[in-house]
Structure formats: structure tokens, C-alpha cells
Structure 1
Amino acid sequence: MAEILGHRQSELNRIVGERIDGMTGRIGSTLQAQAEATHVNLKHLQERLAVIDAAQANIQTLARDMAGLQAILSNKQTRGAFGQGRMEAIIADGMPIGAYSFQATLSNGNRPDCLIAMPNGAPGLVVDAKFPLEGWNAYRQAPDAERRHAAAQAFRRDMDVHIRAIAEKYLIPGETQETAFLFVPSESIFADLHESFEAVIQRAQKLRIMIVSPSLLMLSVQLMQALLKDQRMREQAHLIQAEVAALMQDLGRLDDRVLKLQSHFAQSQKDVEAILTSTSKISRRGERIAGLELSAPGGEAANDGDNRAGQRFAESVTGKLRLRVVDEE
């Protein structure tokens, strides 16, 4: 029994040892795999944290910029300078030099933010950039409905006063266009105006004041640029027509001179034909003289001399006429 128990005890110890060794190997491999996966995950986490840090830095920079923009727009003078600068940038990028002027003085002493020259000598177009942004900010930042309603009424009053001031100061018959532009430096404000303050838009249109956003101002500038280009093309077309008319006059004079030259050639041809007729008559007379038989001594020699003299005279006259015709040609 002791031997059997000892054998079984040793066998049991061996089996338990093998199982412990197997479990130890599996646990080690599992821990190694978990360590590798943890290392990879930590690496990815570090990369994502780096991206998050960069995004956070960008957000902080954007927040500082927004704070600076809010500080700018909170002041009325700096706000006006911001709207004026954006309007000037749009017009200066789209219009040629000399087609616009900033802070130009009108005949009544007022100075609009921008005066755009129109083609064909038409009156200039006035652009105003003084939008009451402080009233709009009070309306947007109202904490409750009651204050929001009061801020909306105050903003309507500010807009009405500003629109009437533009109509009274800048709409001068014969000097400016019948319509003026009120520039809004934000597309979102422009959209909210049309959505929440339709009455203000209608009153502005009745007074011939068009409220424009940056995109609409840019579109208007492109349209006026096309009109100016068409005007320049029309001016060039008039110059081309004048040059063509002068060319046609020169062509008419050339035609008259060619006709005169043709008449001269025709007259020369007639003169040559008449001379040839005369020379042929002279030749025939010389032949008849040469055919006469004179009985006086020396008559034959005299007749031969006369014939030769007549022929030489006819040949000389004919040669001179031919040289004259060649020279004229």
C-alpha cells in the first residue's frame, strides 16, 4: 500500500506540475499579448492626445481672436473702421483705380464712405458702412423675451434714423444715384435682418436705400465693372469707326487718282496712235517720192537722200514717243 500510494503520489505530483507549467506558459503568453496591445493602445492614445492638444491650441487662438473681434466691435468707432475697411477691401479688389473714391466730399458738404463713379457720365453711387452693430448685439444677447423685445424696438429705431440720414445726406439729384447702399459687414446679420426685421427692409427700400451684405456688394461691384468694360469697348468701337471712315476717304481719293491716271494713259494712247498714223502717212509719201523718176542729173541721188531723210525722221519721232509712253507707265 505504501508503495502504491507513493507511486500515485509521484504521478499526481507530476500531473499537477505539468498542468501548472502549462497554465504558467499560457498566462505568460497572455500577459505578453496584453502588454503589446496595451503598448499599441497607449501609442495611439498619445497620438490622439497630441491631435487634441493641437486642436485645443487652435481653439484657444480662435477664442483670443474672437475676443479681440468682440473688443473691436464693442467700440462704435472701431466698429465703423472695421466695416469701412471690409467695404474698402471689396471695392478696391473689384473696381479699377479711378472708378471710386473714399470719403469724397459732396456739394452739400457731406462725405460718404465711398462714391463709385458710374459709366457714361451718370451720377455716382454712394455706399455707407456705418451699420448700428451695438443695437444688434444688444438684441442678440438679450437674456429674456422682454429685454429682447425692447432691444428689437431700439434696433428698429436706430435703423430708421440711420436710413433717413443716408437718404437726406447722400441722395442728391443730378449728383448721386437715386439709390444708395447700406453695407452690412456680416452675412449672418444680413440673413437675420431679412428674417426678423422685414419692416426695416421695406422702409429702407421705400427710401431707395439698399441693404447689402459682402457677397451682394461684391456682385454689384462685378456688375459695375462689366458696365465700365462695356463703356471702354464702346469708346474703342467709336475710334475704330472713325479710323475706318478715314480709311474709306483715303480709298476714295486713291480711286479718283487711279481714274485720272487711267485717263492720262488713254490720252497718251490716243496721241501715240495719232503719231503712228502720221508716221505711216509720212512713210507712204516717202515711198511715193522714192518711186518718182526724175530726168534731171543727179535726180536719183537726190530722191534717195530725201527718202532716207524722211525715214530717219519718222523712226526718230516714233522712238521718242515710245520712250515717253514707257516713262509714263
Structure 2
Amino acid sequence: MPPTDALLLFENPLLIVAGVLCGLVLLLVASTISANRQRRAEAEDAALRSAEAERRLADLMRIQSEMTGRMQTMSEIFGERTSHLARLVNERLDSQGQRLGQAMLDTRSKTEESLSKLHERLAVIDRAQTNITALSSEIVSLQSILANKQTRGAFGQGRMEAIIADGLALQSYSFQPTLSNGSRPDCVVSMPNGQPALVIDAKFPLESWQRLGAAETPEALRLANADFARDMGVHIRAIAEKYLIAGETQDTAFLFVPSESIFADIHERFPEIVQRAARARVVIVSPSLLMLSVQVIQALLRDVRMREQAHLIQKEVRELLADIGRLDERVGKLQTHFQQTSRDLSEILISTGKVTRRGEKIDAMEFEENPRIAAD
């Protein structure tokens, strides 16, 4: 457009308004076209989304139907397994109930048996308690006996006398005899072959020993040990001086201790007392050692008696051998008789066999024309 025309346009306002209106119309038409295109695009997108939603809904319906079928199948399987499980549980419960009932019955029977045994044991315990009560009263009486020196000495001597009397013959010992020096030991045992007698003393310083157990302080224990050693030394020296007489008694004497525990404690706690007694030729013996010594003496006496009666034994043996010879001869004769009897029995059996066979033939009517009885 030439410049003059443009100037003309700007100079005419109507033309300017008309141009503006034309521009506005063109912009309105363009925006309308664009809006229509946008609406068509949105409609197409909505259609696509609707189709996709319908497809997804169809898929969901299909999956739901499949899930419904599976759930129904699982429900049937679960119902079957639940019924099976319930049946198994009922069976197990019945079995456990029976086992529990049987176990309760067994437990009850065992409990009743245990209670009966318990009652028996309680009865035994009651009897034992009665015995213990009686024994405690006896111990009290024994304690009262031991409190007295004379009765305590009689108790120890009584144990020693019981051991000697049980193991030796009456003529082999004597209690409280009088020796040539006027002393009277508790027991004297005669030895074989005219040997000197064995002296046994049953006295024991029990008061000193009791003070050992009652000592509560080291000083009291030391004094009690010294007193016991002194009393034992005095007692050992008295036995050696009064009871060891040359040619009349053995050069060794026994000091009897009426308790194994005291005997063990003396050897463990007072070895010097044991050595002093050995030097004085006094042997400290307990009840078990005294029994062993009595058995040895008994064996020696038996051996001496056997040697004294050796010629009688030899005579008896010779007579026994003669009896054995006669018995052997008579057994030989008896054997000969048995052999002859056996032969006779064999011949008798042969004859009885022939008679039996002949009887069977007669019973069967089997006769021969020319019987040969003699030949048979």
C-alpha cells in the first residue's frame, strides 16, 4: 500500500474502526475454530477413555468371575478339609480321652499301691521308732552305767569275756584267776604244749578319754591329751609289772579297748602311747583284733589236739582202708551177680519173645504141617 493510502487510512477514523472490527472478527473466528478443535480432541479423548474403562471393566468382571469360581472351589476344599480335620480331631480326642482314662486308672492303681507300700513303710518306721525309743532308754541306762567307774569296768570286762567265751573252749581260759604274785588279771588264756598263759586286761581310763571330747579350748585339749597319755602310761606300766611273770605267763600281754573308734583314735592321735606299750610288751587290741587272736589261738589248740591224736587218726585211717578193701571186694562180687543176672534176664527175654510170637501165630491160626518146636 503506498504511503499516501496509509496516511489516508489514519486520517479516516471510520476506516480504522472498521479495520479493528475486522481484526476482532478474524480473532473470534480463529478462537472459535480452535475451541471446536479442542472440544473435538477432548471428545475423542473421552471416547478413548470410555472405551478403555469399558475394557478394564470387562477385564475386572472377568477376573471377578474367575475369583468367584476360585473362591467357591476353595470354599468347598476348605469345607472338606475342615470336616476331615474335625473328624481327625474328634478321633484324636476320643483316643486321648481313652488313653487319659487308662492312664488315670493306672496312676490310681499305682498311687494306691504306693500308698499301701507307704503305709507298710510307715508301720515299719513306727516299729523302728519304738525300737529307737527303747534303744534310747537303754543308751541312757548305759550312760548311767558308764558314769560309774566300777560298772564301766564291768562293761568292758563283759565284752571281753563274751568274745573269749564265744571263741574258746571252757577249759582253755579262766576269768580273774590269782597269779603267783597275788595279782588277779581279768582273763588268762591257756596256751598249747604247756606254754605260759596269755594275760588279757580289760581296764581302760575312760574318764581321761571323755575329757578329750569335752575339751573346748586348745589349752584344755592339750591338758586332756597329757592326762590321757599319763593315765595310759600308768596302766601299761602296771600291766607289765604285775602280769608279765617269767615261766608263768607269756612275755606279752593284751590291753583290751572296748571300742573300735577309741582304738583307731589312739593309733592315729597317740602313736607314742602305742610305741610305749610295744616297748613294755603290751599289745593294745580292739574287739575285732581280740576276736582274730582268739581264732588264732583256737586254731593252734585244734592243731595241738590233732597232733596229740595223730596215732589214733592213723589207726582209724588203717581201719578205713581195710573197710574200703572189703567194700571193693563185695562190690566186685555184686558186679558178678549183676552180670549173671543180666545174662539170665537176656535169656528170659528171648524165651518170652518166642512165647509171644507162638501166641501170635496161634491167634492168627497159622499152623505148620510139621511144626518144629524144638528147632524153634
TM-score range, shorter chain: 0.5 to 0.7
SS for the counterpart of 1:139 is helix
SS for the counterpart of 1:57 is helix
Within the alignment, does 1:182 sit opposite 2:255 as a pair? Answer: yes
- Aligned residues: percent identity? 67
1:120 pairs with one of 178, 193, 196: 193
- Pairing 1:158-237 to 2, within 5 Å after superposition: 158-237=231-310
> 2: CA distance between counterparts of 1:177 and 1:164?
16
Equivalent residue number for residue 102 of structure 1: 175
> 2: CA distance between counterparts of 1:145 and 1:154?
14
Equivalent residue number for residue 298 of structure 1: none
Equivalent residue number for residue 339 of structure 2: none
The verdict on how the C-alpha distance between 1:217 and 1:241 changes in structure 2, with shifts beyond 3 A counting, is same
The verdict on how the C-alpha distance between 1:98 and 1:139 changes in structure 2, with shifts beyond 3 A counting, is same
Alpha-carbon distance, 1:145 to partner: 2.5
2:134 pairs with one of 32, 36, 61: 61
Structure 2 runs not aligned, ≥5 long:
1-103, 318-376
Alpha-carbon distance, 1:57 to partner: 3.2
AA partner of residue 86 (structure 1): R
AA partner of residue 104 (structure 1): P
> 1: CA distance between counterparts of 2:268 and 2:209?
14
Structure 1 runs not aligned, ≥5 long:
1-32, 245-329
Count of aligned pairs between the two proteins: 209
Alpha-carbon distance, 1:63 to partner: 2.0
Q: Please tell me the root mean square deviation across aligned C-alpha atoms, in Å.
A: 2.8
SS for the counterpart of 1:104 is coil
> 2: CA distance between counterparts of 1:240 and 1:218?
30
> 1: CA distance between counterparts of 2:219 and 2:291?
38
The verdict on how the C-alpha distance between 1:49 and 1:137 changes in structure 2, with shifts beyond 3 A counting, is same
SS for the counterpart of 1:177 is coil
SS for the counterpart of 1:112 is coil
Equivalent residue number for residue 21 of structure 2: none
The verdict on how the C-alpha distance between 1:52 and 1:124 changes in structure 2, with shifts beyond 3 A counting, is closer
Equivalent residue number for residue 297 of structure 1: none
> 1: CA distance between counterparts of 2:120 and 2:303?
58
AA partner of residue 113 (structure 1): D
Q: Which moved more, 1:70-79 or 1:144-153?
A: 144-153
Equivalent residue number for residue 91 of structure 1: 164
The verdict on how the C-alpha distance between 1:51 and 1:90 changes in structure 2, with shifts beyond 3 A counting, is closer
Alpha-carbon distance, 1:48 to partner: 7.1
Equivalent residue number for residue 209 of structure 2: 136
AA partner of residue 292 (structure 2): L
SS for the counterpart of 2:178 is coil
AA partner of residue 223 (structure 1): V
Larger RCO, structures 1/2 (Cα 8 Å, 6+ apart): 1
Larger Rg: 2
2:155 pairs with one of 66, 82, 103: 82
SS for the counterpart of 2:170 is coil
Q: TM-score, normalised by structure 1?
A: 0.58
